[in-house]
Amino acid sequence: MTDNPLLEPWNATFGAPPFSKVRLEHFRPAFEAAIAEWRAEREAIKAAPASFETTILGLERAGQTLDRVERVFGHLVGTASGDEIEAIQREIQPRLAREYADMLLDDALFARVEAVYEARNDLDAEARRLVERRRLAFKRAGAGLASEKKQRLAAIAERLAALGAAFGQNVLGDEKAFALVLNAQADLAGLPDAAVAAASAAAQERGHPGKWVVTLSRSSVEPFLQFSARRDLREKVWRAFVARGAGGGTRDNGAVMSEIVALRVELANLLGYPTFADYKLDDTMARKPGAALDLLHRVWTPARAAALEEAKALQAMIAQEGGNFELKPWDWRYYAEKRRQALYDFDESAIRAHLPLDNVLAAAFDVAGRLFGLIFEERHDVDLPHADARAFVVKDSQGRHVALFIGDFFARPEKHSGAWMSALRDQHRLDGVSTPIVVNVLNAARSGEGAPALLSHDEARTLFHEFGHALHGMLSDVTYPYLSGTNVARDFVELPSQLYEHWLDRPEVLSQFARHHATGAPMPDELIAAMTRARAHGQAHSTVEFLASAFTDMKAHGLTEGGDIDVSALEAEALAALDMPSAIVPRHAAPHFQHVFSGEGYSAGYYSYLWSEVLDADAFEAFVESGDVFDPALAERLRRFVYASGGTLEPDKAYAAFRGRGPDPSALLRKRGFA
């Protein structure tokens, strides 16, 4: 098809996808053509004698057209969703899952991979690693099993893909459907100027000019819960937020979750594992569910105790104000913020005023320059997927092209909630140099007309977090696509992102980039000091809500039998067993737990954020101990063994090569203020 931009060579600036030419009607024929091409390429591999070049590198080269189409489609599903693209997703996602399953369950293809694996000792280290990882993917998919088992595994993969798409679409549907319209000044009581401006911008976007709107984007909900003096409205927003994907209507995810969990149990059993958690963790640093659970419990005990103490303090504040009600989840952030201001002379709105989005982005770029020698230049000649998106060419200190970075930072009704990194092209050197095109998506709230978007400290940290993922993709320095960038163990992939967050709060960074949006004045030293003192404040709450979700994930995926599974009931059982504080709820209740149910990514793997935090806390202590958080020798080892190595090394070996030893788990407790 010469008239389909998805199938034509991408000759735009930096080889970026031709987004301006792509229409939704291009996707179905593009997928058809790309799948047919991939099938033919696999047949050619099977027709050739087994060798590293024909088999393994054949697999590396096969499916490149499909890969490009998938990446463009996946980006638009996440950032420009609507009825038509959701219909295509419901059709194509199961089809692709079945196609990938068929490839990995192909006996003739696996026999050739196995032959190369047996002769792998003649290869260099990176090539051996590629062969081992490729073979492992076949084995974990069910290669070598009896025909009936393989057929069932392929059917399960296809059905899980359909269910994952439905789950995410249900959550997004609930988010689109809700808008709390504020009609009067009294409805704005307690809200700082930045939150009012964001609500005004959201109202304009939602068709309510002259009013204010709170949406179910986290960047809208959390400031409202933190500052609104209207308890009745806080409750209304909170209930809508936690009810996403629930409620018994057409978008209720109860049956979807039940079938997902049951199918995952069956999949694990077919592959010889007692539980899905055993299956998923077998190829991670943790290895066994027990190791992940041990870490979760180790942190749960001090976090819960600290949360209960804080709950008492917040209840006392309510009483002091004359309130005659029990602390509820929709009260926690409001009174925690008041307590933080009282204890530390800390004003979150003052912090936000000094964190314009552009300044925080410039800070992220500057840290990358000081650590890794990267230079970022904004470009306006790149074909971008949305008017909000921005493009930056990335160069090294010698002026050589490294990557293209695209940022899409603002919330929109058609965007899925949350923040993430993806790649439109991976780095590799298989057939010439392929430089990466990396994307960060955030959901920051817009400010009023002509005013800069102001970030909370948490939102600024999220920007740094996702940019850490972006650096993992941009700094990748490997030969083979399969080992590129973030293609690493799930409980290692968060190390580059979580580690990068540490530099946001350094005085060396804040003094330069934390500047008042109106005056340009730097953040006062006393405000920085107050923010530093208050850093541990709220850690108990955020840790407990995170752990609650992680325990739910492990409980649901620790089942040994399928059947009719009530996942929300399992969640309630898990929380009861933990004696969950009554005024805190999981960060992601099961019906909208997209990390776990919108796809396989973090299923039985939400714990990995905490596992990686052990690594990031210990890793940053190395910089602190050196006396220079930009220490060149440490930064070079970090680049070489963490950000650049992709999947070429076992994660524990990669970490030890950087740190000189394994991680110290107590660093996590120190970071969270529990030690």
Query: 380: closest CA among 367, 389, 372?
Result: 389
Position 673 scores a pLDDT of: 87
Average pLDDT (330-345) is: 93
**Crossing angle of helices 83-104/147-177, nearest 10°?**
160
Query: 451: closest CA among 204, 96, 143, 673?
Result: 204
CB 292 within 8 A of CB 554: yes
Task: State the pLDDT confidence band at 431, using cuts at 50, 70 and 90.
Answer: very high
Average pLDDT value for the chain: 96
Task: Please state whether beta strands 437-444 and 401-410 pair in parallel, antiparallel, or not at all (unpaired).
Answer: parallel
In a domain, 196, yes or no: yes
Average pLDDT (361-372) is: 98
3-state secondary structure of 585: coil
3-state secondary structure of 213: strand
Task: State the pLDDT confidence band at 319, using cuts at 50, 70 and 90.
Answer: very high
| Residue 465 to residue 502: CA distance in whole angstroms | 9
In a domain, 269, yes or no: no
Handedness of CA 90, 93, 96, 100 (dihedral sign): negative
Q: What is the CATH number of the domain that holds 465?
A: 3.40.390.10
Please say if the pLDDT value at position 405 is more than 80. Answer: yes
| Residue 20 C-alpha from the chain's centroid | 27
User: Facing residues of 406 across strands?
Assistant: 391, 439
Q: What's the token pair of residue 46?
A: 């099977």
Q: How many domains does the chain have?
A: 2
3-state secondary structure of 624: helix
Do 235 and 361 have their domain in common?
Answer: no
Please say if the pLDDT value at position 315 is more than 90. Answer: yes
DSSP category for residue 212: E
CB 514 within 8 A of CB 527: no
**Crossing angle of helices 329-344/289-320, nearest 10°?**
70
Do 359 and 483 have their domain in common?
Answer: yes
Question: For tokens 């070489």, what's the residue?
Answer: 640
Position 12 scores a pLDDT of: 87
The domain boundary residue, chosen from 242, 269, 287: 242
CB 78 within 8 A of CB 92: no
Average pLDDT (486-500) is: 97
Position 536 scores a pLDDT of: 75
CA distances from 667 to 481, 610, 616, 620 (A): 34, 12, 9, 9
Q: How many residues does the chain have?
A: 675
More confident residue, 369 or 673: 369
Average pLDDT (324-339) is: 96
Do 234 and 361 have their domain in common?
Answer: no
| Residue 643 to residue 488: CA distance in whole angstroms | 11
| Residue 574 to residue 600: CA distance in whole angstroms | 21
Q: What's the token pair of residue 240?
A: 């809508």
Average pLDDT (569-593) is: 97
In a domain, 96, yes or no: no
Position 1 scores a pLDDT of: 47
CB 292 within 8 A of CB 286: yes
Cite the active site residues: 466
Average pLDDT (173-198) is: 95
| pLDDT tens column, 463-479 | 999 999 999 999 999 99
The domain boundary residue, chosen from 208, 223, 242: 242
The domain boundary residue, chosen from 464, 492, 520: 492
| pLDDT tens column, 4-50 | 999 998 988 899 999 999 999 999 999 999 999 999 999 999 999 99
User: Facing residues of 401 across strands?
Assistant: 395
Query: 275: closest CA among 259, 286, 285, 290?
Result: 290
In a domain, 362, yes or no: yes
Question: For tokens 């590799």, what's the residue?
Answer: 428
CB 471 within 8 A of CB 372: yes
| Residue 633 C-alpha from the chain's centroid | 29
Q: What's the token pair of residue 399?
A: 């002026």
Question: What is the residue range of 457's domain?
Answer: 353-492
In a domain, 205, yes or no: yes
Position 344 scores a pLDDT of: 87
Query: 311: closest CA among 485, 79, 544?
Result: 544
Do 230 and 358 have their domain in common?
Answer: no
| pLDDT tens column, 190-241 | 999 989 999 999 999 999 999 999 999 999 999 999 999 999 999 999 999 9
In a domain, 466, yes or no: yes
In a domain, 63, yes or no: no
Q: Which helix (H) or strand (E) holds 424?
A: strand 420-425
Tell me the one-letter amino acid at 129. R
Task: State the pLDDT confidence band at 2, using cuts at 50, 70 and 90.
Answer: low
Beta-carbon count within 10 A of 461 CB: 18
User: Facing residues of 437 across strands?
Assistant: 404, 425
Question: For tokens 């319209």, what's the residue?
Answer: 181
Q: What is the 3-state secondary structure (H, E, C) of 64-106?
A: HHHHHHHHHHHHHHHHCCCHHHHHHHHHHHHHHHHHHHHHHCC
Please say if the pLDDT value at position 290 is more than 60. Answer: yes
| pLDDT tens column, 605-651 | 999 999 999 999 999 999 999 999 999 999 999 999 999 999 999 99
Question: For tokens 């992940």, what's the residue?
Answer: 292
Virtual torsion, Cα 352, 353, 356, 360, nearest 10 deg: -50
In a domain, 232, yes or no: yes
CA distances from 618 to 535, 614, 627, 655 (A): 18, 6, 15, 10
| pLDDT tens column, 187-202 | 999 999 989 999 999 9
Q: What's the token pair of residue 589?
A: 């209740």
3-state secondary structure of 235: helix
